[in-house]
Amino acid sequence: MKTSPSTDNRKPRIALFAGSFDPFTRGHDNIVRRGLEIFDEVIVGIGINPNKQPMMSAEARKQWIEAVFALEPRVKVIAYDGYTVDAARYNGAQFLLRGVRTAADFEYERNIAQINRNLAGIETVLINTLPELEFISSSLVRERIEAGEDFCDLVPASAPLDLIKK
């Protein structure tokens, strides 16, 4: 007899989806939503890299993503520095969730996944980006913003655009 997820005693399946998310795009949004079909919870982890000068502050990125998922209680948003696997362990995630747009992305992610599995015992789940979203990147969004062009088609409709520094 098969039991429903709400009645079994299994440990919740939690994934960390890490990135800079500067800003969070429709592609990122789609990966999280598809991840929710696999996992009980997805933690969006905003990695803080002191060597990068982001367009948006970590707090603004966190607010942006929280607004996008305001109606989805299974999404949590954190900011972290240091190693992604350490952030995953600290937050109870057993998996890393990653989106893959190109063959080059796949090769890169495959290598990192093997390292994370061997060193930290954490599995990585790769989700292919939908073809209609694969051209979208945070870099493209930033380029459009810097050029004063419309970028709304590249970010989730519920994103609070007022958080963008102009």
- Three-state DSSP state, 28: helix
Active-site residues, by number, are 28, 52, 101, 138
58-77 pLDDT tens trace:
999 999 999 999 999 999 99
Number of residues that make up the chain: 166
Model-level pTM? 0.91
Angle at 52 between CA 139 and CA 56, to 5 degrees: 60
Q: Where are the alpha helices (DSSP H) in the chain?
A: 26-35, 58-68, 84-90, 103-120, 138-146
CA distance 35 to 49: 25
* One CATH from 3.40.50.970, 3.40.50.620, 3.40.50.720, 3.40.109.10 for 14-153: 3.40.50.620
pLDDT tens profile 126-154: 999 999 999 999 999 999 999 999 999 99
